[in-house]
A and B are shown apart, each in its own frame.
Chain A
Amino acid sequence: MNILALTVVIAIFLLVITTLMWLGYRKTKTDSDYLVAGRSVHPWVMALSYGAAFISTSAIVGFGGVAGLYGFSLLWLTVLNIVVGVFIAFAFLGVRIRRMSSNLGSETFPSLLGSRYQSPALTAYLGLLIFLLMPAYTSAILIAGARFLQEALALPFNLSLLLLAALVGIYVMSGGLRGVMYTDAFFAIVMFLGMGMLLVNTYLTAGGVVFAHSELTALSRLVPANLVEQGHRGWTAMPATGSKLWWTIVSTMVMGVGIGVLAQPQLAMRFMTVRQPRAIYQSILIGGIFIFFMTGTAFIVGPLSNLYFYQTQGQIALQAAGGNLDRIIPVFVSQTMPPWFLYFFMLTLLSAGLSTLSSLLHVQGVAFARDLVQTLGGDRLLPGASTRFWAKMGTALSLLAAIVLAYTLPANIVARATAFWFGVCAASFLPTLLAALYWPAATKAGALASTVTGSVVSVLGYLFLHEAQAVALGLSARLFGRATLLPFPWTHVDPLFYALPASAAVFVIVSLLTAKPSPMHLEKAFRKIA
């Protein structure tokens, strides 16, 4: 890359971000502006911000590389991302979240659930989970972004990490959610253009849709023997049912990430920012297209890169990328796209990382301020300090935790930390969220029992049973002398698979056995909903 041209491109990019951040800063005058962007965001901005916060660099490069190795079966995750992550999330949860948060005056995900169940303890527990466990996911996104800057700009890793952290920290703390969403919308446009061009060029280069698939199908004999043993049957086939690979793809990647998105606090908060429910319906149009061009492109280009590398170099993608999955997409892009596109693609990946990072830091800061400090009465320590002050302090602490974790977490942790967070979120929050919106008879005790059950079972599952996280963290080996406590298939079944049903069952049983909420409270919570 031409360093001068690259510097100019990045300078323009930073100028746009700074301008949008300044706009967000100027319009942030109240706590409501900082927390939920004044509930007056344009539907397209909301949809683009939701998509940009959802899709990180690791979703494009990391999962795209995984698709390069495992094949088109990852496209089921795209289907779930669109059907569950956009359509169901927006139409069936988003509209109700918007109305109920307005009915109850809630401005955060934990406070919405706490108010609905009339339980400050639930608000504090959810806030604590977000504040304590989300830094692992934040750190993974930070590491991925810093690694990318390290390679693209030839900067030392430490400097890349600190630059990225400082940039995001400044614009989250100054612009609040309004600043975050404005910049997210810009990032989303860059990402959409970059991934759209990549998809079209890949199919054109490969000779068209059906021809490209047919040619790739003919290469199934090239799948490495160790992957065939794990159940790999070719890049255009699903893995053998019940094999290790099948469990990894279906339970962790497709179901884990596909369902986990429904209970992501930073995404649920986006629904509270629009003026009226109609905006959420309108944003489904943008959200569906955006997600298709993000994960769809990554999961199509990844497998097809095998065809290109075989035809030009006689190698499969993994070999051409030097055995590093994270390099498959960048190497493919650098060899097939015109030189100017490399700059654009770099901005695409940078946008994906920055948008997710800023959303996570904002939601952690808000959880610290509203759900922990104010719910537990800690704000009495500094009388007169605004919610914004505590939120900025929370963001700063979260950023610090993510930086420390970036130096202490084991290598190759990005995908594992992502799966961990999505699984914990689904098991801990999803039954409580769904019941809050759809089951008036759900009780406070049921919500508390379910949230505690889901979080404890899923965290224990990742620490002691699921091989991908248990081996990397090493706690099971240190405590029990074994990498995992149970044999296959438990080593490859994502904890979400048993933690979520356990959490849901506990919710229903406890709710049926305990006192129902007062009709007056339910009438207020469900006004214009049911």
Chain B
Amino acid sequence: MLGMQDFWVSAAWILSVASTLGCIIFGVLHWHYEEE
């Protein structure tokens, strides 16, 4: 996958991009977070 020899290395590449996107989405969703 992605030209890599090993599935676990492809997974690391994909997860590093996906986790960055996750941080962006989380940050946007909580931008106006208000305390109770």
Please report A residues at the B interface, Cβ cutoff 8 Å: 71-73, 75-76, 78-79, 82-83, 86-87, 91, 209-217, 220, 233-234, 236-238, 276-278, 281-289, 291-292, 296, 300, 528
**Would you call B26 and A284 a contact (CB within 8 A)?**
yes
In the assembled complex, how far is the CB of residue B26 from the closest CB belonging to chain A, in whole angstroms?
Answer: 5
Contact with A along B11-29 (1 / 0, CB 8 A): 0110111011011101110
Q: What 10 A-B pairs come out closest when comparing CB atoms?
A: A288-B23, A285-B27, A213-B3, A214-B3, A281-B30, A237-B6, A75-B12, A292-B20, A82-B19, A236-B4
**Would you call A236 and B5 a contact (CB within 8 A)?**
yes
Contacts of A238 on B, CB cut-off 8 Å? 6, 8-9
**Would you call B12 and A73 a contact (CB within 8 A)?**
yes
**Would you call A284 and B27 a contact (CB within 8 A)?**
yes
**Would you call B3 and A211 a contact (CB within 8 A)?**
yes
Select from chain B the residue with minimum beta-carbon distance to A84.
B19
A523 CA to B26 CA in the complex, in Å? 30
Contacts of B9 on A, CB cut-off 8 Å? 71-73, 75, 236-238
**Would you call B12 and A76 a contact (CB within 8 A)?**
yes
Contact flag A212-B5 (CB < 8 Å), given A91-B26, A284-B23, A285-B27: no
**Would you call B5 and A237 a contact (CB within 8 A)?**
yes
Grouping DSSP codes into helix (H, G, I), strand (E, B) and loop, the A interface class, with mixed when no group exceeds half, is: helix
Grouping DSSP codes into helix (H, G, I), strand (E, B) and loop, the B interface class, with mixed when no group exceeds half, is: helix
A76 CA to B30 CA in the complex, in Å? 27
Please report B residues at the A interface, Cβ cutoff 8 Å: 2-6, 8-9, 12-13, 15-17, 19-20, 22-24, 26-28, 30-35
A212 CA to B2 CA in the complex, in Å? 9
**Would you call A82 and B3 a contact (CB within 8 A)?**
no
A227 CA to B30 CA in the complex, in Å? 46
Most chain A Cβ neighbours within 10 Å, of B2, B4, B17: B4
**Would you call B2 and A285 a contact (CB within 8 A)?**
no
In the assembled complex, how far is the CB of residue A125 from the closest CB belonging to chain B, in whole angstroms?
Answer: 33
**Would you call A288 and B3 a contact (CB within 8 A)?**
no
5 pairs, A vs B, C-beta closer than 8 Å: A75-B13, A210-B3, A236-B9, A237-B9, A287-B23
In the assembled complex, how far is the CB of residue B29 from the closest CB belonging to chain A, in whole angstroms?
Answer: 9
Contacts of B26 on A, CB cut-off 8 Å? 87, 91, 281, 284-285
Contacts of B8 on A, CB cut-off 8 Å? 73, 238
**Would you call A528 and B33 a contact (CB within 8 A)?**
no
A91 CA to B9 CA in the complex, in Å? 27
Select from chain A the residue with minimum beta-carbon distance to B34.
A278
Contacts of B23 on A, CB cut-off 8 Å? 82, 86-87, 284-285, 287-289
In the assembled complex, how far is the CB of residue A309 from the closest CB belonging to chain B, in whole angstroms?
Answer: 18
In the assembled complex, how far is the CB of residue A195 from the closest CB belonging to chain B, in whole angstroms?
Answer: 13
In the assembled complex, how far is the CB of residue B13 from the closest CB belonging to chain A, in whole angstroms?
Answer: 6
**Would you call A288 and B22 a contact (CB within 8 A)?**
yes
**Given A236-B5, A287-B23, list of 15 further CB < 8 A pairs?**
A75-B13, A82-B23, A87-B19, A91-B26, A214-B3, A217-B4, A220-B5, A233-B6, A236-B9, A276-B35, A284-B30, A288-B23, A289-B23, A292-B16, A292-B19
